[in-house]
A and B are shown apart, each in its own frame.
Chain A
Amino acid sequence: MLEVKNIYKNFGSLKVLRGVSTHVDKGEVISIIGVSGSGKSTLLRCMNLLEQPTFGEVWIEGRLMTPVDPYLHKEIIESSDTFASLVSSGMSPSDAVQKIKKEDLLKEKHSREGAAYRKLMKEFFEKNRIDVNEGRRKMSMVFQQFNLFNNKSVLENITLAPLETAKYNHAKNMKEIRESVTERAMSLLKRIGLEDKAHAYPSTLSGGQKQRIAIIRSLAMNPDVMLFDEPTSALDPEMIGEVLDLMKELADAGMTMVIVTHEMGFAREVSDRVLFVDEGYIKEEGTPDQIFRDPKNPRLQDFLSKVL
């Protein structure tokens, strides 16, 4: 459903992600753990392109959100002038591909690699691409700092994106859509017991209430996958429970979720798979039992001994 392929992310000279690949299947709950600065939040933000990966591709439901990464496609590498000149100098084709991948030899300007290369790149992109905004609607995100819209009421926070989306799609019956979107928002609010806050503004709410509303704001988009970026890290301790309960409820209902978290107990309880991200790599990945009971990687062992 969601796939990241060989993601690199550099901030200037700082290499935050150094080749991360993983996939998220339908109904799967994945937790990403790791120390602060390990790149786990960056990985999550690369998934919906809030950060543009430096290299690598992001695929949502078989469609490409990022530009094409030529290094991921053998046939594109083989169409390049660099490849041609390596082969003509006597290198075997497979060695040439290896060398190009390893040493990052393709020229950044597509036009410098010849017409065939340019054409393949373009064809591949046109065939697979999805509009970034359209892709993002399939995977809404919940933030550490909630980020409810301060100038909108709770209800408007929830209905804004579905309504705007309908406008982008030139829906004709806006009135009916408005009614059904509002109705759905109210039923979601009811589900979390906050229907009486529908017309309140975010500044009047507690952190736990804000985050639960942020979650149903994401839910109102009917996303295929929900991304959570440390959703409880900014909460007072007594409010963490209500947010985790709601997330657990979603997980039990079969929602596909990717959760960056420091709540190890929660990760262990709800996840199908846990990724340990460290120094820009996925150092270890497995079921909660494998990760928490029987960690193999020494960095993971060290990390767990500190947080558990």
Chain B
Amino acid sequence: MTFTEILTNMWDIFIKYYIGAGMLWSGIGYTLLLSAITVFFGTILGSLMAIGKRSRFKPLVFVITAFVEVLRGTPALLQLYVAYFIIPMILKVPGLSPFTSVAIAMSLNSAAYVSEIIRSGIQAVDKGQTEAARALGLTGRTAMLKIVLPQAVRNILPALGNEFITVIKETALASTFFVGDLMTTYKVINGFTYQTIPILFDLAIFYFVLTFSLSKLLGLLERRMKKRA
């Protein structure tokens, strides 16, 4: 296949399948939806885990640490498989859609990373800030809520933005279970056309445009936040 042929095929596939059949919009839709769900629940769960990790109740700290280490130490694809087979058994819903179990697995996986982001964001706040608050007779809780967390958020938000971008790329793993995301369209179109490289190149462009524009947008927000601080 020559380079021109690849380009022509990329264009044809783009027009016929991605625009004509609307696969671009549904693919991006599922990818973004899955990413948004993952980041949303990942952030909530991750925050809870970060708080729990500061608890004085050691067994809780141990459970959370173990959870985080296991999720960070095993492949995400393996976790998706496990979730795909196990979650319907646990929830006793045999007909659970692949999308739901994938979303749950990815949220848990993301929570592990987010909890570390939040933990290091809190740790990065100068210790003197807490000391000054405590020395003025404020409780540990007030010091955390009024002084440390507002400053930690400034460290955390940019890192959370990066996590969102990482998650967008990782959703490609979900195509293993045919959930309809962008990567799934490769399998569909490949089934019709028996083409490989032109579809993959099309997809590379879509993913790149998504992540690149998102990272530029986040950079803009970050700069604006810094200006206000």
Contact = CB atoms under 8 A, between A and B. Distances in A.
B136 A151 contact: no
A65 B133 CA distance: 18
A161 B150 contact: no
Given A143-B131, A145-B128, A147-B132, A161 B138 contact: yes
A217 B136 contact: yes
B55 interface: no
Interface residues of B, number: 18
B20 interface: no
A151 B150 contact: yes
B129 interface: yes
Contacts of B128: 143, 145, 147
B147 interface: yes
B135 A50 contact: yes
The winner among B131, B137, B150, B229 for most chain A CB atoms within 10 A is: B137
A287 B138 CA distance: 35
A136 B151 contact: no
Interface string A129-143: 000011111001101
B206 to A, nearest CB: 40
Interface in B130-162: 131-139, 142, 146-147, 150-151
Contacts of B137: 133-137, 140, 161, 165, 221
A218 B151 contact: no
A69 to B, nearest CB: 22
Contacts of B129: 147, 149-150
Contacts of B229: 151, 201, 203
Interface of B: 126, 128-129, 131-139, 142, 146-147, 150-151, 229
8 contacts: A50-B131, A133-B137, A134-B137, A136-B136, A136-B137, A147-B126, A150-B129, A201-B229
